[in-house]
A = this chain, B = another copy of it.
């Protein structure tokens, strides 16, 4: 149904596990940030059958490669992902390790004046660290 075409169109077979993970990731009002650990918990709560941790890693990486998820650069021992794939930036609360979206209008345009020969800019990401 909902996600089968999305997966097929990007060359990913719509397996039961992937469709279930799609439900958890994309069938929500709001986008959200997560670590693999947090996603594993969410899946445990929402999905009847067990999905192996390896599959969660595989799927998240597959979705990231296809552009359905973004990795957020943060200093942490865990990798943070975002289901909001639009260009935007983040607050990072050092106290609890939580991220908060910053709209582009909250930051203003960022104009990188310097160029590196033979290289293209793939992304520009602003991380604003918060403390008490």
Contact = CB atoms under 8 A, between A and B. Distances in A.
Interface stretch (A1-9, A25-33, A35-43, A69-77): A69-77
Interface in A58-95: 71-75, 79, 91-94
Interface residues of A, number: 38
Contacts of A102: 112, 114
Interface in A96-132: 100, 102-103, 105-108, 110-114, 116, 118-132
Contacts of A105: 113
Contacts of A120: 130-132
Given A71-B75, A124-B126, A126-B126, 12 more contacts: A72-B75, A73-B92, A73-B127, A75-B79, A102-B112, A107-B110, A107-B111, A108-B111, A120-B132, A123-B128, A124-B127, A124-B128
Interface of A: 71-75, 79, 91-94, 100, 102-103, 105-108, 110-114, 116, 118-132
